[in-house]
Amino acid sequence: MPNSALGLALNALRRKFPDKSDDWIKRVLARLKDVEERRRGEGGASSDGADFYIVKGRPDLGDKQPIYHVWWSQEERRWYCTCYLTGWGQKRAKEICTHAAAVMLYRQYKGMVDGLEDKRVYVASAVVECPSKPGANGEVYAAPFPGKTLTEYAQPRWRVVAISASPVVEIYCGKRPVLKIPGEEMDYAAAKVLAEEAIHS
């Protein structure tokens, strides 16, 4: 992976966990090469049907198991790791383990390959009403947006971040355009990190 993309991803991780030590960051970085992505049909999936990840155990980092499973819980809006099921699990879950953090780092810079890193794109975010996950004229990241009133609960809303090649980002509900927003121009690597942060924060 390009060094600049990795730097962006590491900076994003530091912003997300500002109280973590440099040693913790180094442990996360050391685990990066041990992350493997698994998709549905490849040995199972998380309970919400999402992708999950395998992180190889590292005895030099204190691991007792050969592998750890990490997955995103849509219901609880957080990452989980099988190390949370151990005797020290509650403490690990509260502080976020380096297995889960390595997966977060992996996801943030995944796809930032040569030729894409410096590509200029446009990014826009919005909250829209739609019965199902919205689409866009480009890559779309979407997560349910909790309502504050009975009306908002009755009409599902989504937090959407879209990455588009067009300066005007279009968001769709089904095939119907519901919003057109001027996008903020940035390179693709930064856009991916921004989108991941916004949706999983």
Of 90-94, 123-127, 174-178, give the lowest mean pLDDT range.
90-94
Q: 114 lies in a domain?
A: no
Q: Are residues 97 and 185 in the same domain?
A: no
Q: Enumerate residues 6+ apart whose C-beta is below 8 A from 69.
A: 52, 53, 54, 55, 81, 82
Using CA atoms, how far apart are residues 83 and 71, in angstroms rounded to an integer? 12
Same domain, 62 and 135: no
Q: Is residue 115 part of a domain?
A: no
Domain check: are 85 and 137 in the same one?
A: no
Q: Provide mean pLDDT across the span 64-86.
A: 89
Of 58, 87, 109, the residue that ends a domain is 109
User: Does 51 lie in the same domain as 11?
Assistant: yes
Write out pLDDT tens, residues 119-145.
789 999 999 999 999 999 988 999 998
Note down the domain range covering 52.
3-109
Long-range Cβ pairs for the range 37-46 (8 Å, 24+): 37/106, 37/110, 46/71, 46/72, 46/73
**Pseudo-torsion of CA 34, 99, 143, 121, nearest 10°?**
-50
CB atoms within 10 A of CB 168: 12
Is 111 exposed, middle or buried (CB count within 10 Å of its CB: 0-12, 13-18, 19+)? middle
Answering whether pTM is above 0.75, one says no
Do the beta carbons of residue 57 and residue 64 sit within 8 Å? yes
Structurally, the chain folds into a number of domains equal to 2
**Banded model confidence at residue 152, pLDDT cuts 50, 70, 90:** low
**Do 50 and 73 share a domain, yes or no?**
yes
Angstrom distance (rounded) from CA 67 to CA 46: 16
153 and 93 in a single domain? The answer is no
How is residue 199 written in tokens? 């949706």
104 and 16: one domain?
A: yes
